[in-house]
Amino acid sequence: MSYKVAIIDDEPLAIKVIKNYVEQIKELKLVATFTNAVEASSFFQKDEVDIVFLDINMPVMSGLDLLSIINSNAMVVITTAHEHYALESYELQAIDYLVKPIPFPRFLKSVNRIISLIEGVKKPDTPTTVENPSIFVKVDKKKLQKVFLDEILVIESLKDYIRIITHTNKHIIHSTLTSFTEDLPQDKFLRIHRSYTIAIDKIDTIEGNSIEINGTRYTIGRSYINEVKSKILEDNII
C-alpha cells in the first residue's frame, strides 16, 4: 500500500531533500509540492493526502497558520530550522517535529511511526488476521530493507552502528542501540547489556548471568540484571 505525500516549503533545496527521502521509501508516493502555504491551502480544499511535510517560516502565511485552518485527516510533520515552535506545533496536532538539516535515519523513524499510526487507524478493531509488524532499515546508501519484528532475535551494538540478527540474516545499519531499542515494542524487546537488546520470546535458556538465543549465549550486564529478572523470570517461572 502506498501513502500520498505533500511537501510544503518555500525553499526549493529543502523540497529537493525531502523529495529525495520520500523517493527512497516505496510505501510513499509524492503527489504535490508547494512553495507557499496559500497555494497549499487551496489544494487541501479539494484533495486529500496521507502525510504532509510542512515548513513553518513561509511568506504571507506560515506553516502553523496553515495547520490551524486546514480541514484534513493528513498526518502532519513539521520541518523547520527552528526548535522553539515545537510546543505550538504539537498543540495543533502535528504528529512529529523535524529540525533541519534532517538526517535520513530521523526522517525514516518518523515515517515508520506514521505508517504504524495510519495502519492502526484503518484496521478494524476485530480479532481478524493482523499484519506482521515490520520496520524499514537503511542497509546501504540506496537500499531500504523490510525487517519483520517477530523475526528479530538480537540487536547488537557496534559503536555507531548496530547489527540486527534474525534467523536468516544479519543487517548492519547506522544507528545507536539506545535509539533503536527505544523504537521497539517494550513488551517484546529488552536491553540486557550495553551491547545487546534481545527479543524476549526468542530466549531458549537462562543460566546465571547469561541468556541463550538460537544457540548463542549473551551476557546480562550487571546494571541490567535486576530489570531482566523482574521482567522475564518473576513473571514467567512456573
| pLDDT tens column, 192-231 | 999 999 999 999 988 888 999 999 999 999 999 888 877 7
- For 150-200, the pLDDT digits (tens) are 999 999 999 888 999 998 899 988 888 998 888 888 888 999 999 999 999
Q: Which residues pair with 197 in a beta bridge?
A: 155, 191
- Provide the residue range defining the domain that includes 185: 134-236
Q: Kindly state whether residues 65 and 85 are assigned to the same domain.
A: yes
**Phi and psi torsions of 9, nearest 5°:** -160, 135
Query: Considering the domain boundaries, does residue 127 fall inside one?
Result: no
Q: Mean pLDDT across the stretch 104-123? A: 82
Position 151 in a domain: yes
* Tens of pLDDT, residues 21-55: 999 998 999 999 999 999 898 888 788 899 999 99
What is the total count of domains within the chain? 2
Q: Are 202 and 195 in contact (CB under 8 A)?
A: no
Q: Indicate if 8 and 101 belong to the same structural domain.
A: yes
pLDDT of residue 184: 84
Phi-psi category of residue 214: left, alpha or beta, with phi > 0 → left and psi -120 to 50 → alpha: left
Please name which of 57, 68, 70 lies closest in space to residue 6, comparing C-alpha atoms. Answer: 70
Instruction: Indicate whether 127 pLDDT > 50.
Output: no
Q: Is the domain of 116 the same as that of 153?
A: no
pLDDT(128) > 60: no
Helix (H) / strand (E) element for 205: namely strand 205-207
Cα distances (Å, whole numbers) of residue 156 to 98, 142, 171, 172, 234: 27, 23, 10, 9, 25
Of the candidate ranges 61-65, 105-109, 148-152, the one whose mean pLDDT is the lowest? 61-65
pTM score: 0.55
The answer to whether position 129 is within a domain reads no
Confidence label for 135 from pLDDT (cuts 50, 70 and 90): confident
Length, in residues, of the chain? 238
How, if at all, do strands 205-207 and 210-213 pair?
antiparallel
Q: Which distant-in-sequence residues (6+ apart) come within 8 Å of 189 by Cβ?
A: 152, 155, 181, 197, 198, 199, 200
Same domain, 64 and 174: no
Cell triple for residue 24? 527512497
Q: Is the four-CA dihedral 97, 101, 103, 104 of positive or negative sign?
A: positive
Which pLDDT value is given to residue 144? 78
Residue 110 grid coordinates: 518518523
CA–CA gap between residue 153 and residue 203 (Å, rounded):
8
Task: Tell which of 57, 87, 122 closes a domain.
Answer: 122
Lowest mean pLDDT among 106-110, 212-216, 231-235: 231-235
Residue 159: Cβ within 10 Å count: 8
What CATH number is given to the structural domain containing 60? Answer: 3.40.50.2300
Where does the pLDDT of residue 63 fall: very low under 50, low under 70, confident under 90, or very high at 90 and above? confident
Q: Select from 122, 154, 185 the last residue of a domain.
A: 122
| Burial class of residue 231 (count of CB atoms within 10 Å of its CB; 0-12, 13-18, 19+) | middle
